[in-house]
Amino acid sequence: MAPMIYTLYGFAIFFFVFWCGIWILHLIAIFYGKYRLHSKVTPLVSDVPYPGVSIIKPLMGVDPHLFSNLETFFTMNYPKYELLFCIEDDTDPAIMLVKSLMEKYPKIDARLFIGAAIVGVNPKINNMHHAYEAAIYEFILISDSGIRMKEDTLQDMMNYMSDKTALVHQMPFSADRNGFAATLEKIYFGTAQSRIYLAADFVKINCHTGMSALIRKSVLDEEGGIKTFGCYLAEDFFIAKSFIDRGWKIRICSQPAIQNSGICDINSFQARLTRWAKLRVAMLPVVMFFEPLTECMVIGGCAAWAVGLLFQWDSLGFYLIHILVWFICDWVLLSIVQNGSLPFNKFDFVVGWLFRECSGPYLFLHALFDPTIRWRTRVYKLAWGGIAQEIKPRIKF
Ligand SMILES: CCCCCCCC/C=C\CCCCCCCC(=O)N[C@@H](CO)[C@H](O)/C=C/CCCCCCCCCCCCC
Ligand SMILES: O=c1ccn([C@@H]2O[C@H](COP(=O)(O)OP(=O)(O)O[C@H]3OC[C@@H](O)[C@H](O)[C@H]3O)[C@@H](O)[C@H]2O)c(=O)[nH]1
């Protein structure tokens, strides 16, 4: 009987301590977010020789926002940059769209690369490889198709590129769009993901998501270039890891990434989160045990049970207060990340937040039990450690 009791008390103490740790994460995210995000960007000084940036845009297919998202790259206020658009398929309608932007902005140095190289299994790396080889500047910006830039975003990123830094990335967030799926995306990126992202950046843990990343090219070249990371689907994580292992710093900049894909529905959003969860579990198996415990409903339930056992507190009351305080912290964090009025009201936030918090643990479980990964037109399997293998030939739409 005694071992059983010790085990129960052991679990209770673990849950209670973990729960206390999670509140420290909340506080770090709120205070660090307030201090770190949305700083005023130092204006460009005309006699300073700014380093050049080769911006690589891997594209695949079109969506209703693609034209206006890409256009923001032609209207940036940065003195020296080139745009390198990469499109794998020569029948992709994105080609027409890029060409029309190149005609509209003839003064902007832009090139189009059609056809992917096969340097690994990661289709984004394969797509970008030719552009990477042709890039002329000392910095590259890898920027996904759904990203929007403000006029000063590149300047903001460059401001954080110190001599010891090799990678500056934008914390994922989303644009103001209408509909429940857009609300859900904003709530997820502005709460659950921002909390971990900001805390990880604060303690210098690698949490790099590669949708918008400014990279010191010489450092990546020392690793053999982007092709070295073509064997992983989570090339972003492994690029950052290789930099950190060699003593370089990676940092977030002050402007969160504005994701503005024209495809915004609950199924594709959840499929994306599930895909990311599969990547995390394969690269860092420890995540399998700890990530569910970072979910409000899960850690709240565990802590409520623990305090009932350890301190004879009312578990239900504790659970409800836990949820309420978490909810308030999330509202505060989301407001900090948004840095302005939100495109939805408080009622939408309550519904979206509850939906996200209840569906999060389910999606994670779903990711654990289905190891195959579908990314756009391809299907993969991951081995422990993150090496990917393509298991079905490409589906052509
Ligand atoms: C003692 C070890 C504790 C490990 C705790 C792990 C808890 C992880 C909880 C939530 C993870 C949310 C991650 C959010 C961003 C990830 C988005 C993503 O998956 N992107 C992938 C695709 O682009 C990318 O390849 C992966 C990037 C990095 C994933 C790293 C996850 C671990 C982060 C651990 C942070 C702990 C912070 C602790 C601060 C005190
Ligand atoms: O087959 C593909 C798939 C994707 N891509 C490009 O890769 C970028 C990211 O694609 P998606 O938007 O589908 O995927 P995500 O936003 O989930 O990507 C994210 O997760 C996986 C990481 O490897 C990426 O670095 C990260 O950006 C886009 O610019 C897309 O055009 C390709 O070029 N080919």
CA–CA dist 314, 304 (Å, integer): 8
pLDDT for the residue 209: 96
pLDDT (0 to 100) of residue 78: 96
Residue 386 makes CB contacts below 8 A (sequence gap 6+) with 232, 233, 234, 237, 238, 279, 282, 283
Residue nearest atom 23 of ligand 1, based on CA coordinates: 209
Q: Are 171 and 257 in contact (CB under 8 A)?
A: yes
Tell me the average pLDDT across 347-357.
Answer: 98
pLDDT in tens, 295-304: 999 999 999 9
Question: Stretch 52-75: mean pLDDT, rounded?
Answer: 98
Closest residue by CA, ligand 1 atom 29? 207
Q: Is 200 in the pocket of ligand 1 (CB under 6 A)?
A: yes
Atom nearest to 294 CA in ligand 1 = 9
Query: Helix, strand or coil for residue 48?
Result: coil
Q: How far apart are CA 69 and CA 71, in angstroms?
A: 5
Q: What crossing angle do the helices spanning 296-311 and 2-36 adopt, rounded to 10°?
A: 130
Residue range 276-295, pLDDT digits in tens: 999 999 999 999 999 999 99
168 confidence band (pLDDT: 50, 70, 90): very high
pLDDT of 6 strictly over 90: yes
**In whole numbers, what is the pLDDT of the chain averaged over residues?**
96
Q: Quick one: pLDDT band at residue 341, thresholds 50, 70, 90?
A: very high
Q: What residues contact residue 268 under an 8 Å CB cut-off, 6+ apart?
A: none
ipTM of the shown complex: 0.96
Digit-coded pLDDT (tens) for 355-387: 999 999 999 999 998 889 999 999 999 999 999
Residue 375 has φ and ψ, to the nearest 5°, of -130, 115
* Terminal-residue alpha carbon distance, the chain: 62
The Cα 209–Cα 169 span in angstroms is 8
* Higher-scoring residue by pLDDT: 253, 1: 253
Please report which residue ranges of the chain form alpha helices under DSSP H: 2-36, 66-74, 94-104, 123-134, 153-159, 180-188, 194-202, 217-222, 235-245, 266-283, 287-290, 296-311, 315-338, 346-369
pLDDT at 1: 65
Active-site entry in 89, 152, 156, 236: 236
Indicate if ligand 1 lies below 6 Å from the C-beta of 233: no
In terms of Cβ atoms closer than 10 Å to its own Cβ (0-12, 13-18, 19+), residue 389 is exposed
Residue 272 reports pLDDT greater than 70: yes
Nearest ligand, measured from the Cα of 58:
2
Mutate to test the pocket of ligand 1, among 280, 295, 357 (most ligand atoms within 8 A of CB): 280
DSSP letter, residue 294: G
What are the structural domains of the chain? Answer: 2-34+281-378 (no CATH), 49-170+211-264 (3.90.550.10)
Exposure letters 307-326 (e unless 16+ CB within 10 A, then b) = bbbeeeeebeebbeebbeeb
Taking the CA of residue 144 as reference, the ligand 2 atom at the shortest distance is 29
- What values do phi and psi take at 273, rounded to 5? -65, -35
Tell me the best of 211, 235, 264, 265 to mutate to test the pocket of ligand 2, counting ligand atoms within 8 Å of each CB and taking the most.
211
- 236 belongs to the catalytic site: yes
How far is ligand 1, taken at its centre, from the CA of residue 267, in Å?
22
Residue 144 CA to residue 148 CA, distance in Å, equals 9
Query: Given this model, what pLDDT does residue 395 score?
Result: 57
How far is the centre of ligand 2, averaged over its atoms, from the C-alpha of 320 (Å)?
39
| Ligand sitting nearest the alpha carbon of 27 | 1
Q: 78-134, pLDDT tens digit by residue?
A: 999 999 999 999 999 999 999 999 999 999 999 999 999 999 999 999 999 999 999
Q: What is the pTM of this model?
A: 0.96
**C-beta of 22 in contact with ligand 1 (< 6 A):** no
